[in-house]
Amino acid sequence: MSTKPIRVLVVDDSALMRKVIPQILETDNSIHVVGTAIDGNFGLKKLEELRPQVVTLDLEMPGMGGLEMLKEIMRRHRVPVIVVSSHSTQGASVTLKALSLGAFDFVAKPTDVSTRMQEIARELISKIKAAAQSRGIQIQSELDLPLPVPRAKGKPGAPKEPTRIVAIGISTGGPQSLQYMLAQFPVDFPGSIVVVQHMPEGFTDMFARRLDECCSLNVKEAQSGDLLQAGRVLICPGSRHIKVKKLPLGDIAILSDDPQVNGHRPSADVMFKSVAEEFGPKAVGVLMTGMGEDGANGLGMLKAAGGMTIAQGEQSCVVFGMPKAAIERGHAMRVVDLDALAGTIQAHCRPGRAEQGSKAASAGKE
């Protein structure tokens, strides 16, 4: 195993950030900051000279801004980029744009950078290490794709009871992968989808709106009491947990502020456990690209309750941490690459499929 430190370039127009980020990173001796740059133009020159393995990038800079630099990096270098983003609405919007252009991941700056930057130190270090080991973005970025066409939505009518509840846990690499997958579902998809995407508060609402624009299903940020309807996707808000509840008048989502689980809120394990307890054989659990092990044990609970469990295959994951943990523990009944995930989920949500319970699930093993 190589013991050479990971070479990082820090690009930020703030003199404070160009001082603080290197100080934070170099507390970990497996990381070496090879240089800093004040804007995109300098950043690209330093990239050529210093050949870093990972770039941290501020998006709001004078001169050549972060998005322009990111496009050039994706076009010419394919070096993983971690965006250091502001918490504002504008910051969330431009951050999601950066992820769609191929940024590896992002960390949100604390509001008081000078005193609270240490709070994100561990997160930034772990994401840099994951980026250095990653396979890079496996699916096409927006640079290679035509602009998304607004998709036809179903005509509003009486909410339909779903054939199955599909619970999806996802982290690093998630925004692009989810957009790619959800765009493949037809307007008459009979299941209801609940998603835990590891993302801070303030980013999930805009993320849900972006997804809603580019797929036929109705996507929204979840609120407590939202009905689990056929053709609806609920995205758990950042820094809340999501659970589900069967009620006589309709099945609903419930949000909570319980403590973090596996270092996360939202946590995929919390969602999977709740879906397993409430829906058992009527559930489909899907664990997709992401760092760490969140969701692996919850997927096991779902399998034990008679649900179908699916893990994303290694070749199509940006980071294979979460699916790998589930597969190694024997909790994934199917292992499916990204391009076949939508079709596999649809097959398990066909009317009649849910009633067959765990027999159908067992038959789906490969």
Domain of 338: which CATH number?
Answer: 3.40.50.180
Instruction: State residue 356's pLDDT score.
Output: 46
In a domain, residue 158? The reply is no
In a domain, 1, yes or no: no
Which among 134, 198, 264, 269 is annotated as catalytic?
Answer: 198
- pLDDT greater than 60 at residue 366: no
Range of the domain at 311: 165-363
Q: Among the options 13, 294, 316, 331, which is catalytic?
A: 294
Give the pLDDT score at 157: 66
pLDDT tens digits along 4-27: 999 999 999 999 899 999 999 999
**Mean pLDDT of the 111-132 span:** 84
pLDDT (tens digit per residue) in 304-348: 999 999 999 999 999 999 999 999 999 999 999 999 999 999 999
At 202-236, the pLDDT tens digits run 899 999 999 999 899 999 999 999 999 999 999 99
Cis peptide bond upstream of 146, omega within 30: no
Residue 33 lies in a domain: yes
Instruction: Read off the pLDDT band of 91 (50, 70, 90).
Output: confident
- Determine the straight-line distance between the first and last CA of the chain, rounded to whole angstroms: 34
Stated pTM of the model: 0.89
Residues 178 and 125 in one domain: no
Are 251 and 292 within one domain? yes
Is 300 a domain residue? yes
Is pLDDT above 80 for 140?
A: no
337/229 same-domain check: yes
pLDDT at res. 154:
66
Output the pLDDT for position 333. 97
**What's residue 250's pLDDT?**
92
Q: pLDDT digit string (tens) for 230-248?
A: 999 999 999 999 999 999 9
pLDDT of res. 363: 42
Number of structural domains in the chain: 2
User: In the structure, what pLDDT confidence band is assigned to residue 358 with cuts at 50, 70 and 90?
Assistant: very low
For 49-65, how does the pLDDT look when each residue is reduced to its tens digit (9 = 90+)?
999 999 999 998 888 88
Write down the catalytic residue from 86, 100, 134, 171.
171
Whole-number Å distance between alpha carbons of 271 and 275: 6
Using pLDDT thresholds of 50, 70 and 90, give the confidence band for residue 273: very high
153 domain-assigned? no
| Shared domain check, 104 and 53 | yes
Burial 27-41 (b: 16+ CB within 10 A, else e): ebeebbbbbbbbbbe
Tell me, yes or no, whether 206 lies in a domain. yes
Q: What is the mean pLDDT of the chain?
A: 88
Closest among 321, 93, 323 to 204, alpha carbons compared: 93
Tell me: pLDDT of 287 over 80.
yes
171: annotated active-site residue:
yes
Look at residue 125 in the predicted model and tell me its pLDDT. 95
The predicted pLDDT at position 149 comes to 52
Q: How confident is the model at residue 146 (pLDDT cuts 50, 70, 90)?
A: very low
- Which of 98-102, 232-236, 354-358 is predicted most confidently? 232-236
List phi, psi (to 5°) of 162: -75, 150
The domain that holds 128 is classified in CATH as 3.40.50.2300
Helix (H, G, I), strand (E, B) or coil at 261: strand
Final residue in a domain of this structure, among 109, 133, 157? 133
Boundary (domain end) residue, out of 79, 112, 133: 133
- Classify residue 149: in a domain, yes or no: no
State the pLDDT confidence band at 155, using cuts at 50, 70 and 90. Answer: low
Last residue of a domain, one of 85, 115, 133: 133
Separation CA 324–CA 217 (nearest Å): 29
Do both 210 and 327 map to the same domain? yes
Residue 1 reports pLDDT greater than 60: no
Are 275 and 359 within one domain?
yes
Find the mean pLDDT for residues 139-165: 64
Could you tell me if 351 and 202 lie in one domain? Answer: yes
Put residue 158 in one of left, alpha, beta given phi > 0 → left and psi -120 to 50 → alpha.
beta
Cβ neighbour number for residue 359 with a 10 Å cutoff: 11
Residues 204 and 304 in one domain: yes
Q: Are residues 198 and 260 in the same domain?
A: yes
Of 234, 261, 218, whose CA–CA distance to 167 is shortest? 234
In a domain, 173, yes or no: yes
